[in-house]
Structure 1
Amino acid sequence: MLDVVILAAGKGTRMCSNKPKVLHTIAGKPFLQHVVDRSRELDADNIHIVVGHGADSVRAEIGSENISYVQQTEQLGTGHAVKQALPQLQADSTVLILYGDVPLIKSETLKNLVSQVGEKSLGLLTVNLDNPSGYGRIIRDQDGSVVSIIEHKDANLEQQKVKEVNTGVMAVRSQDLQRWLPQLNNNNVQKEYLLPDIIAMAKAEGMSIETAQPAEESEVLGVNNRLQQAELERIYQVNMAKDLLAQGLTLLDPARFDCRGTLKVGKDCLVDINCVFEGDVTLGDNVKIGPNCHISDAVIGDDVEIKSHTVIENAQVGNNATVGPFARLRPQAELNEGAKIGNFVEIKKAVIGKGSKVSHLSYIGDAEIGSDVNIGAGTITCNYDGVNKFKTKISDGVFVGSNTALVAPINLGENVTVGAGSVVTVDVKDNDLAVARTRQRNISGWKRPVKK
């Protein structure tokens, strides 16, 4: 059995924010959610989050699915925090203790740590730092066995030279915690009940302290201020870029790439600089994405070109389609094979048929457009009367002239032609020409106004 206890009660004063520290984000996801996700990858039987400052906000953001919350009314140290969770722990479980502001920890590292726990041993995650200042030092005996952890403020000059430090992450049997935590005292510089003090208790009982280390130092870095948050964001994004490059994605500059969700890529895809991906995005084969695009919760087919400064949200783009530059696909936009959406075009809750074109300066909303339709520049579907939305249906082969307003609800039959500058308010039958504009008047002798 595995219980995970995540410490998330701190205010995070150095973040200079009204928001609890653990709700600030890396890759668009709260620090704490990253830690919860790693816990779930371990198939933890129970996840317990110790909350304090902003507890209601934390509960609302993270939710309660397979999670129990424990209140720490006073922040009196890490040992005191874990002690609050003791009544929730299963008697025969292994307890993994994590931190809500350490978002880059990997599940493989945690699995290795948990495997160190036995009847006469506990697991301790350590790391070697070039600059260990501020961290508790790992003190070993002549045989290399861990005997204690000395906090930086309590360490003497010789102990401060030790490079191996405590990350705070531990795996311990529940029954041992139940015995040790009530014995903690606050006889230290910080006047806090410190979790690392259980190491000395374990040694006194003849238990061994088995250590594990992360593959990368960044896994155990915590966030205390905005600078550290920015540094971890870059580390996360670089690691994401490396994974995608290994999968065959071409990134013209991996340092100018952001993924705040999941990105699945086919073969021979290319992504230019400053592109942001959010939510769940899937790219087919041979997709080319120009610079400065923002794509979220979208499925992109094969051989698609998305030109620069395009925004796509909750939309589908079919094979061989072209989108942009400066286009926007809003939720429920669906482009079929070979469709073309040009510059300064906005599509919302509309289906664009096979081979159809909306090349520039148009708005198509709440519409169903057939195959091989050409929508002229400046065309809009007038779908909203201020209260309700109405649908525009355009059949195959329609040609709509520039600067046309299609007032929904309206149906244009097959092969209809709409004259430029028309305001179309009634249905048009197959093969008809619709012209709806006032007759032009030319006034002779017209004199322009002169500024007085």
Structure 2
Amino acid sequence: MTAPIAAIILAAGKGTRMKSDTHKVLHPIAGRPMLLHLIDSVKALGAAREVVVVGAGREQVEAVVTPLGAETAHQAEQLGTGHAVLQAKTALAGFEGDVLILYGDVPLVTTATMRRMVERLHGPDSPAVVVLGFRPADPGAYGRLIVASGDRLSKIVEYKDASPEERAVTLCNSGLMAVRGADLFALLDRVTSDNAAGEYYLTDIVGLANGDGRVAAVIETGATEVAGVNSRGELAALEAEWQQARRARAMVEGATLIAPETVWFAHDTVLGRDVTIEPNVVFGPGVTVADGVTLRAFSHIEGATIASGATVGPFARLRPGAVLEADSHVGNFVELKNAVLGKGAKANHLTYLGDASVGAGANIGAGTITCNYNGFLKRKTVIGEGAFIGSNSALVAPVAIGDGAIIGAGSVITRDVEPDALAVTRPETLKKQGWATTFRATMKARKAAK
């Protein structure tokens, strides 16, 4: 492909069936707004321009896409898909290339499919329009693509207008198109609203192109790739489809998923080889896992980097900024936030490490916490290499524990501890022989007297 590519992404619909204050196209799949899934695929194609057509809730959409370099065009009135695409005419004035027409609520169209559409546009017969078709399990009320011969598209017919023979056709219209930029707006300018709905239909350009003696062509893809989202139920269904495909890819690439259906990935999860993931592990965005890592059951991991040989969980939580170096261990009911656990270091039980650096080989006892927040400021705790932190200790930041130091169990540490020193803060143990026997006898007598 040598011609530049522009994408017009329609995102002006109100999405009332979502019952949400969040714009429909900004609802997430795998932790990323579905519109941005689509824009990522467009950018991977090498598109020169992206124009997002906005309408209701435009401020929300503009705030998300403008920082990514996308342009917006406003559709003030909802007068049909043809009218929506026409709103990009000013933005693309003078553009000489190919135009993809996409939908913000159809987020899983791949770069490969977009490329096939554009390549077909440059076939030997030089079609004016290429339409993306699919064959759903239940064609239902989808518009049908009527093919004359080969992949030559003779017309698009809405279900309500179709004859019984046309309704028997299983090839359906996704609504996605590729059109030569030189043809698109010239065709749209000829589309009328002379129909029952009084709207300008994008699909009418196929008939106009055929009437001009030009070619309209169709290529096919799978139904999942062009599935749209109009409700919370459809969003959940598409999330499930995405997750199923991602799990399969993870296993093909060398990860072991003990119970694949229970593992939930984010859009950007990176896994190395020989990673073992036990049941009910959930990934938030921003996670990178190196080779040979074990992620035990019921762990939640977000914004974390995990080096080779590390073990996480079960029931662990890694929050943004957590870094586990090689062969480190995080165990049950341990939480890390903006903390580095050094090579071979261990925090195996009931621990919170926030805004902390833990040196190689250190051992963090059960119940240890770094007291990193005083209600106003976050402070850092530094634990040296080979240090041993006794159980139920509280390290009040800012504080540094030297290499090889030992903190006695139950201590509250508010000052730096030198390397190889012992620090213990706890009161003397008071013992009174026989006190418990006397106490029980006294309480029994009081209870009997009532």
CA contact (8 A) 1:120 1:206 kept: no
Seen in structure 2, the aligned counterparts of structure 1 residues 91 and 375 have a Cα distance that, compared at 3 Å, is closer
Stretch deviating more after TM superposition (181-190 or 161-170): 181-190
CA shift digits 1:182-201 (9 cap, x unpaired): 22122333332110110000
CA contact (8 A) 1:137 1:149 kept: yes
Q: Of 402, 427, 436, which aligns to 1:437?
A: 427
SS at match of 1:227: helix
SS at match of 2:229: coil
CA shift digits 1:212-267 (9 cap, x unpaired): 112x3200010111111111101101111111111110001111111113232333
CA shift digits 1:302-358 (9 cap, x unpaired): 211112110112211111111011110112x10111111022100011111111111
CA shift digits 1:242-297 (9 cap, x unpaired): 11111110001111111113232333210011111122322222211111111112
SS at match of 1:19: coil
TM-score of the two chains, using structure 2 as the length reference: 0.90
Aligned to 1:4: 7
CA contact (8 A) 2:417 2:423 kept: no
Distance (whole Å) between structure 2 residues aligned to residue 30 and residue 322 of structure 1: 33
SS at match of 2:291: coil
Distance (whole Å) between structure 2 residues aligned to residue 150 and residue 138 of structure 1: 7
Aligned to 1:413: 418
Matches within 5 A, 1:146-185: 146-185=153-192
Residue 394 of structure 1 and its aligned partner are, at CA, apart by 0.6
Distance (whole Å) between structure 2 residues aligned to residue 85 and residue 144 of structure 1: 28
Residue 92 of structure 1 and its aligned partner are, at CA, apart by 1.5
Distance (whole Å) between structure 1 residues aligned to residue 220 and residue 151 of structure 2: 15
CA contact (8 A) 2:127 2:217 kept: no
Seen in structure 2, the aligned counterparts of structure 1 residues 120 and 359 have a Cα distance that, compared at 3 Å, is same
Aligned to 1:433: none
Seen in structure 2, the aligned counterparts of structure 1 residues 35 and 144 have a Cα distance that, compared at 3 Å, is closer
CA contact (8 A) 1:308 1:325 kept: yes
Distance (whole Å) between structure 2 residues aligned to residue 264 and residue 171 of structure 1: 32
Aligned to 2:91: 88
Q: Of 376, 389, 401, which aligns to 2:390?
A: 376
CA contact (8 A) 1:116 1:122 kept: no
Stretch deviating more after TM superposition (185-194 or 240-249): 185-194
Seen in structure 2, the aligned counterparts of structure 1 residues 222 and 392 have a Cα distance that, compared at 3 Å, is same
Aligned to 1:76: 79
CA contact (8 A) 1:344 1:362 kept: yes
CA contact (8 A) 1:154 1:188 kept: no
Aligned to 2:399: 392
Aligned to 2:110: 106
CA shift digits 1:127-179 (9 cap, x unpaired): 12232122111122367631110112222332222111111110101221221
CA contact (8 A) 2:128 2:183 kept: no
Structure 1 residue runs without a partner (length 5+): 384-390, 423-435
SS at match of 1:341: strand
Q: Of 207, 215, 225, which aligns to 1:208?
A: 215
Aligned to 2:350: 344
Residue 106 of structure 1 and its aligned partner are, at CA, apart by 0.6
Specify the code of the residue in structure 1 equivalent to 2:209.
Answer: A
Q: Of 306, 328, 334, which aligns to 1:327?
A: 334
Residue 22 of structure 1 and its aligned partner are, at CA, apart by 0.6
Aligned to 1:24: 27
Aligned to 1:301: 307
Distance (whole Å) between structure 2 residues aligned to residue 230 and residue 371 of structure 1: 46
CA contact (8 A) 2:152 2:218 kept: no
CA shift digits 1:10-53 (9 cap, x unpaired): 01111121221111111111111111111101111110000011
Seen in structure 2, the aligned counterparts of structure 1 residues 373 and 249 have a Cα distance that, compared at 3 Å, is same
Distance (whole Å) between structure 2 residues aligned to residue 327 and residue 346 of structure 1: 6
Specify the code of the residue in structure 2 equivalent to 1:109.
Answer: T
SS at match of 1:59: helix
CA contact (8 A) 1:127 1:165 kept: yes
Q: Of 234, 237, 257, which aligns to 1:231?
A: 237
CA contact (8 A) 1:261 1:277 kept: no
Distance (whole Å) between structure 1 residues aligned to residue 405 and residue 250 of structure 2: 42
- Number of matched pairs: 426
Seen in structure 2, the aligned counterparts of structure 1 residues 142 and 217 have a Cα distance that, compared at 3 Å, is closer
Percent identical pairs in the alignment equals 32
SS at match of 1:330: strand
Specify the code of the residue in structure 2 equivalent to 1:414.
Answer: P
Specify the code of the residue in structure 2 equivalent to 1:177.
Answer: L
Aligned to 1:14: 17
Specify the code of the residue in structure 2 equivalent to 1:190.
Answer: A
SS at match of 1:324: strand
Aligned to 2:411: 404
Distance (whole Å) between structure 2 residues aligned to residue 125 and residue 45 of structure 1: 21
Specify the code of the residue in structure 1 equivalent to 2:395.
Answer: T
Aligned to 1:431: none
Seen in structure 2, the aligned counterparts of structure 1 residues 144 and 22 have a Cα distance that, compared at 3 Å, is closer
Structure 2 residue runs without a partner (length 5+): 373-379
Seen in structure 2, the aligned counterparts of structure 1 residues 20 and 247 have a Cα distance that, compared at 3 Å, is same
SS at match of 1:344: strand
TM-score of the two chains, using structure 1 as the length reference: 0.90
Seen in structure 2, the aligned counterparts of structure 1 residues 120 and 112 have a Cα distance that, compared at 3 Å, is closer
Residue 441 of structure 1 and its aligned partner are, at CA, apart by 7.5
Residue 100 of structure 1 and its aligned partner are, at CA, apart by 0.2
Distance (whole Å) between structure 2 residues aligned to residue 20 and residue 311 of structure 1: 30
Distance (whole Å) between structure 1 residues aligned to residue 45 and residue 151 of structure 2: 30
Aligned to 1:115: 119
Residue 84 of structure 1 and its aligned partner are, at CA, apart by 0.6
1:261 aligns with 2:264: no
SS at match of 2:121: coil
Aligned to 2:61: 58
Residue 120 of structure 1 and its aligned partner are, at CA, apart by 4.4
